[in-house]
Every structure is written in structure tokens, then in C-alpha cells.
Amino acid sequence: MSLSEQTRSKIEQQIASNRVVLYMKGNPRQPQCGFSAKTAGILDELSPGYSTFDVLADEEIRQGIKIYSDWPTIPQLYIDGELIGGCDIVTDMYNSGELHTALGLEAPDRTPPEISISDQAAEKIRMGMQDHTGMALHMSIDANWQPQFGLQPAQGNEISASSNGITLLFDLQSAQRARGAVIDWVDALDGSGLDVTLPAAPAPVKPMQADELKQAIENGTAPLIVDVRSQQDRDSVAPITGAMVLDRDTLTELQNRPAETPMVFVCNVGNSSRGAAEHFRKLGFTDVYNLQGGMQAFNSTG
């Protein structure tokens, strides 16, 4: 497949118009593949104002960007007009601090997290590692704050933390999320295993009923209302008075607000807004709501 001049020009304009551009599947609020989600998650942390292009929305760009960059996969990250690479390279650069440098940021905090491993958990871990000479115990915590353990050789750029004679290795993001982690062993009816408590995890998205939001608006105590609907849907059903429309500029503004800012996300029926609310929860916002039933419920409530 050849790259048309029209597609090449479009790609060059996109890259030239934005300092940080991520070609991905989906968008940061609703990524359509794990690699895109992981890369966007890193950029959410380091460079909230980055630009994205959903290759699933334009087949010419989806195939053309691979030819343009001579890079066979998506996602692809560009900084200052230069191709950085895909998910694996971005992740490696993030963990080493090279990505911070490329973005003009200070070196990352590599302070080991304080963790606590119970006696029983430590005993079970030692038993499990007996026949795995040369392997290290890694703990990762994903964007949904789900911990996972794995045995693999140390790569050299991990952050290590120890408790009760056990050493765990973390990537940079996981080390931040693991601060204060308590690891225990539990025996339950559905099986036994390690149990991890993560004090740093943000509070879950909370449901808000339509009448509850209306009452808060009347009382002047409503959280920031963010409407995630399309322009067509807003033309059909007017937004709640005072609501912010979630566009690119608003996204950047909201991401720069204090983490304790209360926000309620609104769509037609409460599904798309839940995804947007989860995006902000994963960024560390601690007081996030989703309007149950969306605008349909809001407008049908007396």
C-alpha cells in the first residue's frame, strides 16, 4: 500500500500542529486496546494536554501512519515531530526517566514505596519461589488499581521495596500506586491467595440520582457538572444549566484541577458518562460521581 500525498499532508499537519501526538485505537477516555490504554495512561500522568488521533475513525490514517513512520503497530507516540515508538518503548522510557526528559519534565520520583507483608504471606511467597532460582518477584498495579504478581528476571530499572525478608520489584507507575500497600494471605471458600490493600487507590466512582442532583443544584451545593454528550445530543436535549461540555479544552482544564474537586458526569442514559468518570478516577480524583439514568432521568424527575 502506498501513501497518498493527501494522507501524508494530513499526518504531517497533525504532527506539526501539536507538540505531543498519540495515534491510538479509541480515545483516552475509551481506549479500544490495552496497548493504547497503557500508553494513554502514562501520558495522562505526565502530559495531560497531549493530542490524540483515533485511527479507528479513519482507515486511511490507520494504514497511512504505519507507512509514514515505517512502524507496523498502533499506538504511536510523536514528541516535537519525532516518532518515539509504541507502547513497549514508551513504557521503558517512562520507567527509566527518558520520557520525562523528552517532555521537558523533572526526573521522576524513584523513592521505594513503604509496604507491609504479613508473616503468613511472606512464608507463602518464599515457598512459591523455592524452585525459581534467578527469578525476581514483580508486582504491578494497573490503571484500574488491580495488583498482579509475576516471577521474571530483573531488568535493572525497577524500583525495589522490601518487607519481612521479601523483596518486590515495581515499575515506576506501580511503585507510586503501591505506597502503603499491605499484603496478607487469606483463606476463603473460593480459594486461598495473596490479598492486597492499596491505601493510595482513589475512591470508586459514586452513583448520583437525578433527584439528588436537582436538590444539590437548588441548594447551591452541586458538584461540577460535566456533560459528555455529542453536540447533536445537546442540540436535541439542552444541557443542565451551568454544565461544562467535555471537549479537548475542558478535558485539559479539568485534569489540572485539584484532585479533591467534586465532579458529576452526565450523558444520555448514564453509560458513556460512567466511562468518563472512571477516566478521572484513575487520574486520582477522589470525589467523582456518575448521574444514574443520565439526562433521561434528570428531565423525567419532578
Contact 261, 176 (CB under 8 A): no
Q: Which residue in 267, 288, 295, 297 is the catalytic one?
A: 267
Backbone angles phi, psi at 229, to 5 degrees: -75, 165
Backbone angles phi, psi at 155, to 5 degrees: -95, -25
Q: Tell me the DSSP string of 132-180.
A: -TT-EEEEEE-TT--EEEEEE---S--EEEEETTEEEEE-HHHHHHTTT
* Cα angle: 143, vertex 145, 150; to 5 degrees: 95
Report which residue type is found at 16: A
Q: Is 87 a catalytic residue?
A: no
State the number of CA atoms in the 13 A half-sphere of 279 facing the CB.
25
> Hey, which residues does 78 pair with through a beta bridge?
21, 83
Q: Which residue has the cell 527469578?
A: 135
- The CA distance from 192 to 220, in Å, is 49
Annotated catalytic residues are 267
